[in-house]
Structure 1
Amino acid sequence: MKKLLSVGQFNICLEGEELPGSLLYGLSTRNEGDVLFIDLLIKAELPTVFPPCRLDVSCDLNDMHSLWTPCLHGHPKSIRNKGIPEIWTNFSSHISHVSPVGCFYNVQGQNKVAFAFSDIKNIVRVHAGAYEEETAAKIIMHLFSTPTEPMTEYRATLRLDVADVNYHQAISGLSRWHETLMDSSQMPVPAPAMEPVYSTWYAFHQQLSQDGIEQQCKIAAEMGCKTIILDDGWQTDDSNRGYKYCGDWEVSANRFPDMAAHVKRVQAMGMKYMLWLSVPFVGRGCRVWQDFESNLLFYSEKNQTGTLDPRYPKVREFLVGTYTRLVQEYNLDGLKLDFIDEFDMSFATGTALEPDKDRDTESLPEAVDRLMMAVRKSLQAINSDILIEFRQRYIGSMIRKYGNIFRVHDCPHDSITNRAGIMDLRLFSGDTAVHSDMFIWSETDTVESASLQFINTLFSVPQISPNLGTLPDEHLQMCRHWLSFWKEHKQVLLQGELRSCYPEMHYPIIESQLGIEKVITLHAAMICDIFTNKEESITVVNGAMVERICIKTSINVLANISVFNCLGKKVCDLPEVELTGIKEIPVPKSGYLKIEKSNI
């Protein structure tokens, strides 16, 4: 079966296998301004496992120089950040992975074609890139590559936006459209989700102790951190960083002799308390292993760990009951729920690929939705402001229903990857709180270099993870300063209008404006345009490790300028400076300028 349409600049093809009996394929289009909607309908008279099919859209590859996607996408031998890959490469989208979206844009950052598919629950193989045989840009949605439950009808829509707007505006439009498809059922974001976090992971990994954590919290709270995430290690005496002992989720009495009292003491310091859990894993070293060894999606002999299959009601009941028990027993403020992207049928083996009467659904996406909504509802019944964190890659549109914190994927010491991940998340995550990956740095590094960990993450909620008890005094001073700086500019950084140029270069200039106040971060020795949008107070942060900032104005402005170093110490004042055209100002590495428009 093949259906062809040509609408404006787009050639559209729907291809699918024929089955014995009646299987009806429908394809239609509609326009709303600059947006083309392609509607797909597949119908069967009787419940049917639909065969694989593909929706293929192509257009001339004109004035398209990069492709934004929510994950790394392309061939490993030729991959570049935000590159346009060969069309045969693809990424997988489903409920516990990224969303089926992307945006072709040009060097000037203008949108050319932004696309989003409506099926954000089931597995969709997304191909987007260059089709060299036709010098065309192609977008392909491969459907039903993994068998689904029998159905009689499937409806989906591909949204194509060709509006002449900046890429970030087009991507935000995709996010808003997905919100409407979910009836705006995103999990509410309480105020604590927008406060700095101390994470134990990079500093201690599984080497945790009750007294040691309280000592860290005392320093972190004094610095301005409002939440602690106790990561892996609290549930086991083993420190080999595996998951063999995940599953019972009982506190190690050796590491935390009185967990309830410990949590209470930390909360008395003014900090919320969150606990890490690995959602899908159950290890052979756990007491519950025998209860669930027949309810697995797959098993890793190397790790001696299985991945639970949430299509079994008993699995969902166990996980929901476990999280409810922990939150109630220890009066927790939130959970960090890890590895839900392992709920993936492409990993399934053995009996997980065969029907089983003990399951109440054969659809893994449906089971994940049931599980995560049950987790959300049960925890909100205990605490309406419960905090739930997920991380890249499981940051698709539907995940916003189950959590209120999205964190950048692990990138220890790599502040540039942190910055790029933050911006990718900010562009497509709506009002969900976006957190940096918890960051760490060498205690022997200069404060100017270490400051880049903060500078590159300013437009997120910072998560820090050094051993605060061993940091040199100057590093502690640096931490205090940047957390204070973030707090001072928090509203602009998180709630202002966010813009950035050159995402293909890892967003080298980022700015956010709220009212008359603007904050700009420079991550390369580039010229920064200021006074472009009625701002009167500007902070320009030097994240390029050079000793100057170059600013440019297209109008004549009289301004008062102050120069600061990375510890917040004022270096000098430059009163009533006439700004016109390009001006270079000496600024310490990792320092910043404060520019106030003069009223004279």
Structure 2
Amino acid sequence: MTDTSSTAPVPIWVPGQASAQPQQPVLLGPTATARGLRLQATDTDAAQATEVADGVWEISFRVGPAPLELTALVPAVDAVTYWRPGSAVPHATVPPSWGDPVDTTALLGIPLGALLLRQDRTGLVHTLDAGSHRTTVRAGLVEESADFAVIMTVEDAEPGEEIRLLLDVSGRPFTDAVPDAGRLFEQDGGTPPAPGAEDAVLCTWYFAHQDVTAQTVLAQADRAATLGFGVVIVDDGWQTMSQTRGYGWCGDWEVAAEKFPDPAGLVAELHARGLRTMWWVGTPFLGFHARARTAGLLTRYQETELDAAVLDPRDDSTRLHLVERIRDLVVKTGADGVKLDFLERFATPVPDDPSPNSPVAATVRLLAEIVDAVESAGVRPLIEFREPYVHPAVSRYATMLRVGDCPLSATQNRVGIVDLRMLRPSRPVHSDPIMWATDDTAERVAHHLINALFGVPQVSVDLVRLDTAPSDALAFWMRVWTTYRDTLLHGELLPQRPDLLYPLIAANDGVRHIVARYAPHAVPLPQRPWREVLIANADDSEPLIVNDAFPMSVRVEIWDARGRPTHRSLAELAPGPSVLPVPSGGLARLTHPDLGPAPEL
């Protein structure tokens, strides 16, 4: 709906806006005016604005000969923080409007953000669908007016292309408005997860690094299957005898026979134990020691410190080389898929690059060609992408998304999982592989696993060399996750306080409620009818639970971090607060006594 008012808004100047192009208002209508939302653009002739829900607009633009620039403003009343998704992105700041811009491509982030208000409400949610084109977003507070401005530029679109913008000032909760914005531009939201995409993963990287062999992998297999893992990622090292941590032997993508004399046999052995296999591929790298350097492949630039060059995906023969090698790797070994790593390196700008063609768009073509080639060979592959390449333009080719590298950082894993689930609600989200120090306690191991509870856990530790206490903690929390994974992954996800890094997260499926606490926060019991409530304690204090309903009888079960029962009783919960004696790293389960036994843990 378009405002037909005869009073035309006046263009707004924003400090730090360097554009010399004049911007004109885009008329959104009375609802926007009442809520203080203003939008202006450099080219408004072909703008089409539709209010798709109360306080939510979709606006389409046709790109002209110059870059498209957009500015949206809202009053920053009750503002708490500006949220952008990402495990390494600040979550507790309201930046100034003159701050540094954020560049986004289809291989680097996603142009989606939200101004959050008190009580986790949204003041503004914005997302821009510019396909694989580079966008720049500068969002921040205008000091002169206490408005919040979002300034967006689409850099390299062709004239006539359609660009879509979503603006949401509905005031809905963060957990409703942000996933809806994420869904808007998904192209495959109805596609069911690929078989194995939601299975727990054992990854070889952190515990083996490049010293990985068939014997290393097989030694883990029985224990991994017993613990409930469904996938093994054979990470970097399978293609080289080097252990220098460089990428000098990437590009041929042939299995090092000294380490893996029978790769197809290894995959078959893992399949016999119910474990799928994925091979790591450092996709853009052509190592300085690779035989493929003589094959006429085109490269864009050198990564001398990595002992490799980066391939040029715009070249047809270079893409064909990668497609054929990856297809043959999967098909000839009988593997279930690949971990395509470092895709963001394809998009690194090169100042003297003479070509007008986009390496990002070429990488999108490459990914489509890889998937088509493998599927044409009769395999529906598992494909892992990790932050930062989670944009819908490329991640539609992935069956799973993973938090970026954050070894030993439980908080970063937690934040990354929740952010990706808010951003890409229809895609399985995996943790960065969980590891811990040799002398870490069972409690600390449990903390790491609880921080990954609402995603698909990846783990990277030597399972056969674990001490008893960490092994017990891993086994217990894997049982908890496996038993309740449908609720954890597909229930309603309710993370609280993004500005405090989600100190309390809950998921529910209507009758089963699972809550994890990561700080000394009270845990409110659900006010709707429930069958089970689980409380995972990743803090050192005992949980304070709050019953806002009527008095109730419950069965209480408590386990410590190693899964050892510490308490079991029937209890009367009065309205108000109660303390549950849940040890750090432990779990409490409350059930109604008259609804039958709960699952065994």
TM-score (norm 1): 0.90
**Alpha-carbon distance, 1:478 to partner:** 1.7
- For the 8 Å contact 2:87–2:419, the answer to whether it is kept is no
Contact 1:186-1:402 at 8 Å conserved across structures = no
On the 8 A contact 2:102/2:137 being kept in 1, the answer is: yes
Deviations 1:17-66 (A, max 9, x none): xxxxxxx95445332322123332234xxxxxx43342111122112211
Higher mean alpha-carbon deviation, 199-208 vs 186-195, is at 186-195
| Pairing 1:153-192 to 2, within 5 Å after superposition | 153-179=160-186, 182=187, 184=188, 188-192=192-196
Q: How far apart are the structure 2 equivalents of 1:353 and 1:218?
A: 53
Distance 1:317 1:289, change over 3 A: same
SS of the equivalent of 1:288 reads helix
Q: Which runs of 5+ in 1 are unaligned?
A: 17-23, 44-49, 75-79, 356-361
Q: Which amino acid aligns with 2:123?
A: K
Determine if the alignment matches structure 1 residue 57 to structure 2 residue 67.
Answer: no
* Deviation (angstroms), 1:82: 4.2
Write out aligned runs for 1:350-429 (5 A): 350=352, 352-354=353-355, 362-429=357-424
The amino acid that maps onto 1:36 is: W
Select the residue among 38, 47, 52 that pairs with 1:11.
38
**Residues 266-300 of structure 1: CA deviation (Å, up to 9, x unaligned):** 2212100100001111111111113346x222212
**Alignment partner of 1:131 out of 139, 142, 145:** 142
Give me the whole-angstrom Cα distance separating, in 2, the residues matched to 1:431 and 1:11.
31
Residue of structure 2 aligned with 1:71, choices 62, 69, 86: 86
With over 3 angstroms needed to count, the CA separation of the structure-2 counterparts of 1:30 and 1:531, relative to structure 1, is closer
1:70-109 C-alpha deviation (Å, 9 max, x unpaired): 23788xxxxx424222233222222222221111111310
C-alpha displacement of 1:203: 0.2
Match of 1:287 among 272, 288, 291: 291
Alignment match of 1:441 (pick from 436, 444, 452): 436
Residues 531-540 or 483-492, more deviating: 531-540
In structure 1, the residue matched to 2:319 is 316
What is the aligned counterpart of 1:116 among 108, 114, 127? Answer: 127
Q: Secondary structure at the match of 1:218?
A: helix
Asked if the contact 1:435–1:463 (Cα under 8 Å) also holds between the matched residues in 2, the reply is: yes
Who is 1:348 aligned against? 350
Question: Shift in Å at residue 384 of structure 1?
Answer: 4.5
Hey, what does 1:489 align to over in structure 2?
484
Q: State, as a whole percentage, how many aligned pairs show the same letter.
A: 26
In 1, Cα distance between equivalents of 2:202 and 2:307: 31
Aligned to 2:91: 81
Matched-pair contact (CA < 8 Å) for 1:73–1:91 = no
Equivalent residues, number: 565
The answer to whether 1:510 aligns with 2:520 is no
> Residue type of the partner of 1:39?
S
Two-structure CA RMSD over aligned residues (Å):
2.0
Task: Write out per-residue CA displacement over residues 234-280 of structure 1, whole angstroms, 9 at most, x where no aligned residue.
Answer: 00111111111111111111211222212211221210010000111
Q: Secondary structure at the match of 1:191?
A: coil
Kindly indicate whether the alpha-carbon contact (under 8 Å) linking 1:25 and 1:42 is maintained by their aligned counterparts in 2.
no
Name the CA distance, whole Å, in 1 between partners of 2:189 and 2:323.
20
Write the letter of the residue equivalent to 2:490. Q
Partner of 1:30: 50
CA apart distance, 1:126: 1.4
TM-score w.r.t. structure 2 length? 0.90
CA apart distance, 1:463:
0.6
For 2:221 and 2:531, the matched residues in 1 are separated by 38
Measure the CA separation in 1 of the matches of 2:121 and 2:311. 44
Q: Show structure 2 runs of 5+ residues with no match.
A: 1-20, 596-601
Contact 1:121-1:365 at 8 Å conserved across structures: yes
The structural deviation recorded for 1:370 is 1.2
Higher strand share: 1
Deviation at 1:458, TM superposition (A): 0.8
Measured in 2, the distance between the counterparts of 1:37 and 1:63 equals 25
Q: Secondary structure at the match of 2:556?
A: strand
1:486-526: CA deviation from partner (whole Å, max 9, x where unpaired) = 11111111111110111111111011001311110011111
Correspondent of 1:256 among 244, 253, 260: 260
Residues 237-252 of structure 1: matches in 2 within 5 Å? 237-252=241-256
Question: Could you tell me whether the CA contact under 8 Å between 2:407 and 2:434 is conserved in 1?
Answer: yes
